[in-house]
Amino acid sequence: MKSDMKSLLRAVVLLGAAIAGQAATMLTLTPSGSVSGTAGSTVGWGFSLVNTTNFLVVTSANFCLNPLNPPACTTAPSSVGVFNDFISTQPNAVIVGPAPESTTVSQAFSVTNHTGIGSFVFAPGALPGTLSGSILLTYDLFSLSPNDPNFDPGTDLISTDNFLSATASASVVIPEPSTSGLAAAGLALFSIVSRRRRRT
């Protein structure tokens, strides 16, 4: 009876640790998961990545349209646009974890600075509409930070091909007429009406 209780208690503790570990790692897209732009334009997502246990090292990012089922990822058709991974191609690997690292890493999206989780470049001929899916982030987990002088990728590796996801969408919108264009059209119409009144 005592051994059964011990086994049950051990199972509960392990389950609690697993749930806590999942809750301690989180991906949020900033300022939101929904981005939009005109055909031919470039949009993208910033991010906030939280990890409080061990050391998370980002390995890839993608914009997937299918229901999340890693490692499968259905990407956008090229007639609509192309996703470019920024987060895993930066000069310094994105590492999130306890000291001496930071448990939260955030970056705003910037095409110029190549920051954020990634960009989406709409095709010049893309028609108005919305692609809905998820940003899929993969990462490896280590017991020691890769920045530690004693780091050994073989012995310090805990797991590979872990993933996080966040709901995302990319919308092609029709450009609004510019104010200057409307003003010019208004002046032209006013001029035509004025000329006709003078003639009558």
Task: Decide if 11 is inside a domain.
Answer: no
Q: What is the pLDDT of residue 66?
A: 79
Q: What's the rounded Cα separation, in Å, for the pair 159 and 191? A: 72
Say which CATH number the domain at 33 has. Answer: 2.60.40
User: Would you say 106 and 127 are in contact if contact means Cβ atoms under 8 Å apart?
Assistant: no
Nearest to 116 by CA among 137, 146, 133: 137
Task: Decide if 131 is inside a domain.
Answer: yes
User: Would you say 134 and 166 are in contact if contact means Cβ atoms under 8 Å apart?
Assistant: yes
User: Would you say 58 and 139 are in contact if contact means Cβ atoms under 8 Å apart?
Assistant: yes
Task: Decide if 5 is inside a domain.
Answer: no
Q: What is the pLDDT of residue 20?
A: 42
Task: Decide if 95 is inside a domain.
Answer: yes
Nearest to 158 by CA among 21, 55, 14, 22: 55
Task: Decide if 150 is inside a domain.
Answer: yes
Task: Decide if 9 is inside a domain.
Answer: no
User: Would you say 119 and 43 are in contact if contact means Cβ atoms under 8 Å apart?
Assistant: yes
Task: Decide if 196 is inside a domain.
Answer: no
Task: Decide if 176 is inside a domain.
Answer: yes
What radius of gyration do the chain's Cα atoms show?
25
Q: What's the rounded Cα separation, in Å, for the pair 48 and 66? A: 23
Q: What is the pLDDT of residue 24?
A: 82
Q: What is the pLDDT of residue 56?
A: 98
Instruction: Enumerate residue ranges in the chain where pLDDT < 70.
Output: 1-23, 67-71, 177-200
Q: What is the pLDDT of residue 176?
A: 73
Single-letter amino acid code for the residue at 100:
P
User: In the chain, how many domains are there?
Assistant: 1
Asked whether the bond before 100 is cis by omega within 30 degrees of 0, the reply is: yes
Give residue 119's domain range: 26-186
Asked whether the bond before 71 is cis by omega within 30 degrees of 0, the reply is: yes
